[in-house]
Amino acid sequence: MDSDDESFEEHDSGNVSSGDDDFAMDVDINNPRDRGQETDEYPYDVLTTDEIVQHMVDCIKDVNTVVEIPATITRILLNHFKWDKEKLMERFYDGDQDKLFKDAHVINPFRKPSLALKPKIKKSRTEDCEICYSTFPPSMMTGLECGHRFCTQCWQEYLTTKIVEEGLGQSIACAAHGCDILVDDVTVMRLVQDSRVRLKYQHLITNSFVECNRLLRWCPSADCTYAIRVQYVDPRPVVCKCNHVFCFECGENWHDPVQCKLLKKWIKKCDDDSETSNWIAANTKECPKCNVTIEKDGGCNHMVCKNQNCKHDFCWVCLGSWEPHGSSWYNCNRYDEDEARAARDAQERLRSTLARYLHYYNRYINHMQSLKFEHKLYAAVKEKMEEMQQHNMSWIEVQFLKKAVDILCQCRQTLMCTYVFAYYLKKNNQSQIFEENQKDLETATETLSEYLERDITSENLADIKQKVQDKYRYCEKRRKALLDHVHEGYEKDWWEYTIN
């Protein structure tokens, strides 16, 4: 690669790699090995930020050895094609090169610069900056291949604003109005003198490289600076060096057995509905005529629908038409009327959809909250393990407690995801088997959780150890049976979904 690459080879990447976590009680939720799914079936690498930068440099070198254009332009072209080298090479040799460079917002390096692009130097050997309208000697003016030149001070202020305030890295365009030619990284590093701004820019370039590259993904764990590199995109679990396990395709916590598309819909639905659903169920009803949701804001049971196209008068208590109620303004006694019964039936049907959602949502949230408590259990278990070693037990003999908490967390995570799967699942014979497997795993998981919360003394140590070991082995088997059944259903097309 030519010298243009020095801007990344000689500077910090803008991130700090986190070291390996040596804490002995790390959570290992949903390890991909648990279902007989060895990690070498889905090859991937965990990269530090320095390795990410080197990977970017290597990608540029690979393309440059073939196309032989400046590395700065190669970097912009690769970013335009989301770092797909094969796609870039195909377009470069098989398509219209002028259109290729234009679409990528760079000047074609194979075209000689037009006379119109040469700097306008006055007889006094000076140039005018069209931003600050000051006059400078040519040495204090600079620009891009598009021919737009401004003073170095204006360039520095412009680039600093774009980087610091707007957070732009790869997509900074020329400072000239209406010009979409992109500023290359070498120009940025040459013009920007503030080390903090340069570091911010390098961080943005690194981040853009990962986010644009479909074969790379940042670890979503808080404060983690590692990225995962794969050979092909698949909804598979990957394990970061920080021990976080997530789905490479969607970036969410590993969510077996539910598929990415259903989990995405569920998360969106929860974000939209969960905050208001309970309040709606408790405080509102639907107009029996137009189904608009109505809140009762006074003591009178005589309701008038606010929908301008409806204006229906009805009773809040029985949902029947108000007209037959006569003077019974505050005490409805007409519960058996046909009209009121029909209105209540319609109301029940409308509420059943909400009730069904809340059924699955509450259980999903319950396991999520229990999982957070289970994480706290690691600290307590660590103390118990130290205490048990004082009762003449070896370090190996007390590892059953950590193993039990690992499996408990795995089961909680799986159960949480099963309620997402179940919410969208249509009823059939196989869904009934799934629900039985779900019930068995849930019962065993709750029992294991109770065992781990008991006080351990020298008197009950042997009994507790045997019960915990037996139960976590059973939980492991039930979890595997549930996941195997769901995946068999995927392979044999057993599952049908109700997508609202």
User: Is the alpha carbon torsion for 375, 377, 383, 389 positive or negative?
Assistant: negative
Which residues, other chains included, contact 490 with Cβ-Cβ below 8 Å and sequence gap of 6+?
none
Pairing of strands 293-295, 284-286: antiparallel
Reference 255, options 475, 45, 421, 491; nearest CA is 421
> Both ends of the chain: CA-CA distance in Å?
53
Cβ(247)–Cβ(261) below 8 Å: no
Instruction: At 468, give phi and psi (nearest 5°).
Output: -65, -45
- Number of Cβ within a 10 Å radius of residue 131: 17
User: Is the alpha carbon torsion for 152, 154, 156, 158 positive or negative?
Assistant: negative
Among the listed residues 132, 290, 300, 310, the single catalytic one is: 300
Q: Is 224 a catalytic residue?
A: no
DSSP 60-94: HHHHHHHH---HHHHHHHHHHTTT-HHHHHHHHHH
> How long is the chain?
500
- The arrangement of strands across the sheet holding 216-218 comes to 44-47, 227-230, 216-218
User: Is the alpha carbon torsion for 119, 120, 122, 123 positive or negative?
Assistant: positive
Reference 479, options 400, 421, 412; nearest CA is 412
Instruction: At 246, give phi and psi (nearest 5°).
Output: -145, 165
Cβ(314)–Cβ(296) below 8 Å: no
Q: How does 273-301 read in b/e, with b if 16+ C-beta sit within 10 Å?
A: eeeebeeeeeeebbbbbeeeebeeeeeeb
Catalytic residues: 300
